[in-house]
């Protein structure tokens, strides 16, 4: 088991994986509870399109293009979701499939050696120095934000109208959340792949909400679940060759979700019996 520490790429992947797992879980709680889960999905597809274009243009680090593009998309999607006159679900679906199509199209016409497979399903080998630096900075921001503004994040998530009416700057919190989500997705999708990064955002909070009934316990449990799944997924895909990391991590998430579902069913049954 300790073998893995002899492979620098594996150590990098573990560091970035754990940090991204923490960010995904923390942001995911807010996104899921605000019914913004689809935004994560849309952003990952936009990120895929941006990565393909960056590769074709031969930009030295694809992050330079995908980070600003996904951030812009995040602001745009948030606006759409807030505007009740537009059918947000449909709009996000249109944007995400268009971005995916553009990505595939660009990658194919040029005949470049872009590895579509790698973008879709992720790869540990793609984790480099810059990813480590960005994910450390990112997770420090996300964690600091949670520590400083925990209660305000709760208030804005629970009841945005009340928060706004009583003087909380809801626009500011929404902007910060979407900015951090954009960065998390761009960094995380290189390792986990376009198709699976949104699962990392949605699964942990859904899982913990099966059992936890208070906001603080949902937040903490989500982080624990998320980190556990990423570490187990990485170790599994390292030991079992040829298994993509992203898929393994999502399968672990699914397994934990089912276990929590079972626990809550047992709890409910027990509560009924006691009555």
SS (H, E, C) 172-239: HHHHHHHHHHHHHHHHHHHHHCHHHHHHHHHHHHHHHHHHCCCHHHHHHHHHHHHHHHHHHHHHHHHH
Structure tokens at 127: 């984790």
147 binds another protein (CB under 8 A): yes
Helices and strands of the chain, counted as H and E runs: 11, 0
| Total chain residues near another protein (CB under 8 A) | 29
Tell me the closest approach of the beta carbon of residue 166 to another protein, in angstroms. 4
Is 154 near another protein (CB under 8 A)?
Answer: yes
- Cβ closest to another protein, residue 125 vs residue 211: 211
Q: Taking the alpha carbons of 212, 218, 220, 225 in that order, is the dihedral positive or negative? A: positive
DSSP code, position 5: G
Contact string 163-202 vs another protein (x = CB under 8 A): xxxxxx----------------------------------
**For residues 81 and 96, which CB has a smaller minimum distance to another protein in the complex?**
81
Measured from the CB atom, is 126 or 221 closer to another protein?
221
From residue 13 to residue 42, what is the string marking binding to another protein with x (rule CB under 8 A)? --------------------x-x-------
Q: Choose one: 6-14, 51-59, 127-135, 152-160; the region binding another protein (CB under 8 A).
A: 152-160
In whole angstroms, the minimum distance from the beta carbon of 5 to another protein comes to 35
Cα distance between residue 142 and residue 173, in whole Å = 12
Closest to 244 (Cα-Cα) out of 197, 198, 182: 197
For another protein, which stretch binds (CB under 8 A), given 135-143, 191-199, 213-221, 232-240? 213-221
Q: Does 56 bind another protein (CB under 8 A)?
A: no
Q: Which is nearer to another protein, 112 or 217 (CB)?
A: 217
By beta-carbon proximity to another protein, the closer residue of 105 and 158 is 158
* Token pair 């992203």: residue: 246
Give burial (CB, 10 Å; 0-12/13-18/19+) of 133: exposed
Given candidates 1, 161, 273, 275, which one binds another protein under the rule CB under 8 A?
161
> What is the spatial distance between Cα 189 and Cα 109, in angstroms, rounded to a whole number?
23
- Whether 10 contacts 124, CB under 8 Å: yes
Candidate list 149, 224, 243, 254; residue touching another protein; CB under 8 A: 149
Query: Is 76 or 154 the residue whose CB approaches another protein more closely?
Result: 154
Residues 85, 89, 90, 91, CA torsion sign:
positive
For position 141 contacting another protein by CB under 8 A, the verdict is no
Q: Which is nearer to another protein, 29 or 183 (CB)?
A: 29
Q: How far apart are CA 228 and CA 256, in angstroms?
A: 9
Distance CA 248, CA 235 (A): 10
Interacting residue ranges for another protein, rule: CB under 8 A = 33, 35, 85, 147-152, 154-155, 158-159, 161-168, 209, 212-218
């Amino acid at each position: 088991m300790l073998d893995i520490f002899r492979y620098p790429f594996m150590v990098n992947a573990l560091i970035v994986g754990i940090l991204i797992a923490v960010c995904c879980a923390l942001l995911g709680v807010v996104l899921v509870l605000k019914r913004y889960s689809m935004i994560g999905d849309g952003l990952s597809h936009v990120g895929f399109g941006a990565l393909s274009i960056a590769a074709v243009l031969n930009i030295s680090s694809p992050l330079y293009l995908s980070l600003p593009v996904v951030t812009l998309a995040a602001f745009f999607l948030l606006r759409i979701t807030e505007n009740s006159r537009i059918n947000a679900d449909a709009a996000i679906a249109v944007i995400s499939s268009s971005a995916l199509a553009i990505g595939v199209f660009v990658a194919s016409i040029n005949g470049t050696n872009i590895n579509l497979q790698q973008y879709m399903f992720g790869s540990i080998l793609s984790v480099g120095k810059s990813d480590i630096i960005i994910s450390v900075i990112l997770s420090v921001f996300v964690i600091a934000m949670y520590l400083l503004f925990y209660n305000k994040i709760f208030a804005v998530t629970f009841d945005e109208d009340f928060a706004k009416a009583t003087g909380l700057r809801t626009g500011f919190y929404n902007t910060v959340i979407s900015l951090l989500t954009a960065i998390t997705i761009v960094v995380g999708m290189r390792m986990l792949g376009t198709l699976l990064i949104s699962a990392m955002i949605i699964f942990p909070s859904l899982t913990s909400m099966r059992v936890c009934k208070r906001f603080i316990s949902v937040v903490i449990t989500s982080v624990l679940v998320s980190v556990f799944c990423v570490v187990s997924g990485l170790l599994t895909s390292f030991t079992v060759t040829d298994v993509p990391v992203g898929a393994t991590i999502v399968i672990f998430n699914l397994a934990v979700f089912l276990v929590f579902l079972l626990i809550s069913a047992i709890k409910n049954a027990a509560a009924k019996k006691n009555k």
